[in-house]
Amino acid sequence: MNHHSTSASSSSHALLEGIAIATNKLLTIRDHHDAVQQALAALGQSIQVDRIYIFENHPHPESGEVCTSQRWEWVALGIVPEIDNPILQNLYYYDFIPRWYNWLGRGKVISGLVEEFPASEQEVLAPQGIQSILVVPITIRDLFWGFIGFDDCHRKRIWKEVEQAALLALGGTIGGAIVQRRSEIQMRELNDALEQRVRDRTQELQAAKDSAEELVRDRTGELRVEKEKAEQRSQILEATLQELQQTQSQLIQTEKMSALGELIAGIVHDINNPVGFINGNLSHAETYLAEVFQVLALYEQHYPEPPNEIQDLRQDVDLDFIREDFPEMLTSMRLGTQRIVEIVRSLRRFSRTDETYLQAVDLHGQLDDTLTILRARLKGKYPIQVLKEYGDLPPLECYAGQLSQVFMNILSNAIDAIGERADGATEPFQGTITIRTHSAGGKVMLDISDNGLGMTTETRERLFESFFTTKPLGKGTGLGMAIAHRVITERHGGTISCASELGQGTTFTLTLPLERAIAGKAKVA
Ligand code: ADP
Ligand code: MG
């Protein structure tokens, strides 16, 4: 046991030392659960508290509302662990500790003596023997992920501000460790799955090739006349094999896309909850303030001559302004949350993975969703204006997610091309993307033009080839247009073509049959 003196400097010193050890454990121990556990233990021993624990926020398994559960705990000798306490699993903030959610969610710490806390909080804390508590948030990529708490069951410990700040920083480190592990695991799983698929496909292809070769060998042995025919067949099989290998690379790409879709769906889910909170609280805030003003108005009516102190303050605080400005503030906050909801909705539609059936969709909505997702890139280094000339379109029967993918690929290329032209321009250059749609003769026609750098004839001719790219390593995959071609022609029985002039810009023209007849047998170029 440590017996540090309690003088300010030495206890702060112990705390910093504890944090240093804990950080080191977080960064060096490979097993993530173990790392956090050992970090807590190191910390507990150095700073001499009785209990340290970490809670993670998540949607309630039944209601979907935000709640929080204890995930890790360290206790000092002789202190009862609470990790199995059922009340600390799926705990609603709103039932017991609403203040915590608002406070921690804004990156602030909670600290103090339990006897001075609100009754609903004491109800949770007192039975655990806690006298003094410090709770700091864990934030992951600006989202309130959970919190780490420090209980003292023996002393009415008051946490110094430097100590609070140091532990708040530790909360960030823990968040970093968690998110790093999480994405490592996701990446590993994704990679494993992909590698397995590649192995499977390669085996299949090899087997097909072997048996084809065997066939050729047998036949040549048996009949010379048949030999030529067999060789021809082997050639066809070689070609098929090549095509299959190409398909395989596209398969990987598609697979990555759908994994990305799932990832997005997960994130969308995580964003939804906090946005709900904000939205819900906004209308409360509005009512509360209206009530406060009502009370104020009554006061003013009945006490028109308040004491000087109030009059002074009344003059300093421009109440009339607040009364006018506050609703506007709420309106813009509401607009903000609506914007988030919109983006989330687009992301959700975009990440749809149930692509096994055709559905009738509003093509313009699909285009707008894709533009929403590309918003950041459109507003990037060279802001690009998007002109929409939408015609009257009936619903289109299609694989919606795949079409979004095509729009995404075409628009991304357009943005790249505009960026390249702007990079090389001597004067400020205004990039423009124009999207035109109309329908006639049972078809939808769609033009997407950009005034970017355009392409050479050679590039235009090879554009739809898999792995053809003019972009530097790491930027282009050369798969975007190959996939677009396949999706439009083979999956939708449509056409895609391209006109481009170097230095002027590019137009892609797509046609899609409104109703999906038998799949067109177009071949990938
Ligand atoms: P990537 O974008 O990964 O290079 P793509 O298949 O999407 O692969 O595009 C292939 C190539 O076609 C690009 O590298 C580029 O040279 C050319 N390209 C595609 N779209 C455009 C465009 N709108 N403007 C100019 N070049 C384009
Ligand atoms: Mg591309």
Looking only at Cα atoms, what is the longest distance across the chain? 119
Q: In the block, which residue shows the tokens 């920083």?
A: 169
How many angstroms is it from 291 CA to the middle of ligand 1? 59
Question: Which of 463, 466, 500, 502 has most ligand 1 atoms within 8 Å of CB, for mutation?
Answer: 463
Q: Looking at the CA of 415, which ligand is closest?
A: 1
484 Cβ closer than 6 Å to some ligand 1 atom = no
Residue that the structure tokens 């975009």 belong to: 350
Q: Is the pLDDT of residue 110 over 70?
A: yes
pLDDT in tens, 254-303: 666 666 666 776 777 777 778 888 888 888 888 888 898 899 889 889 98
Strands 384-389 and 431-440: parallel
Q: What is the pLDDT of residue 5?
A: 38
Helices (H), 148-223: 161-222
Query: Over 80: is that where the pLDDT of 234 sits?
Result: no
Q: Is the distance from the beta carbon of residue 463 to the nearest atom of ligand 1 less than 6 Å? A: yes
C-alpha closest to that of 152 among 34, 32, 11:
11
Q: If you ran DSSP here, which 8-state letter would residue 258 be given? A: H
Joined together, the tokens standing for residue 407 give: 């729009």
Determine which residue's CA is closest to atom 18 belonging to ligand 1.
Answer: 413
Q: What is the pLDDT of residue 402?
A: 81
C-alpha of residue 413 to centroid of ligand 2, in Å:
5
Least confident of 51-55, 115-119, 156-160, 271-275: 271-275
Given a contact cutoff of 8 angstroms between Cβ atoms, the answer to whether 205 and 241 are in contact is yes
Least confident piece of the model among 58-67, 281-290, 354-363: 354-363
Handedness of CA 4, 8, 11, 14 (dihedral sign): negative
Q: Rounded distance, CA 169 to CA 23, Å?
A: 10
C-beta 405 within 6 A of ligand 1: no
Cα 188 to middle of ligand 1, angstroms: 30
Q: Which amino acid is at 325?
A: D
pLDDT tens for residues 155-200? 898 988 888 888 888 888 788 777 777 666 766 776 677 667 777 7
Whole-angstrom distance, CA of residue 250 vs CA of residue 467: 10
Residue 477 alpha carbon, nearest atom of ligand 1: 3
Which residue has its alpha carbon closest to ligand 1 atom 7? Answer: 480
pLDDT given for residue 507 in this prediction = 98
Among the residue ranges 56-70, 228-242, 457-471, the one predicted with the least confidence is: 228-242
**Beta sheet of 91-92, edge-to-edge order:** 91-92, 66-75, 51-59, 143-152, 132-140, 110-113
Question: What's residue 454's pLDDT?
Answer: 96
Q: State the chain's mean pLDDT as an integer.
A: 82
Point out the ligand nearest to the CA of residue 481: 1
pLDDT value, residue 245: 63
Nearest to 416 by CA among 388, 374, 460: 374
Report how far apart, in Å, the C-alpha atoms of 493 and of each of 253, 399, 514 are.
Answer: 21, 12, 10
55, 69 in Cβ contact below 8 A?
yes
Distance 469 CA to ligand 1 centre (A): 6
Rounded to two decimals, what is the model's pTM? Answer: 0.47
| Ligand 1 contacts CB of residue 414 (under 6 A) | yes
Residues with CB under 5 A from ligand 2 (ion): 413, 480
Distance 412 CA to ligand 1 centre (A): 9
Contact 148, 170 (CB under 8 A): yes
Q: How far is the CA of 414 from the centre of ligand 2 (A)?
A: 9
Nearest ligand, CA 478: 1
Mean pLDDT of 194-214: 73
Closest CA to 475 of 416, 418, 419: 416
Q: Which of 413, 416, 418, 421 to probe ligand 1 with, by most ligand atoms within 8 A of CB?
A: 413
Cβ 431 under 6 angstroms from ligand 1: no
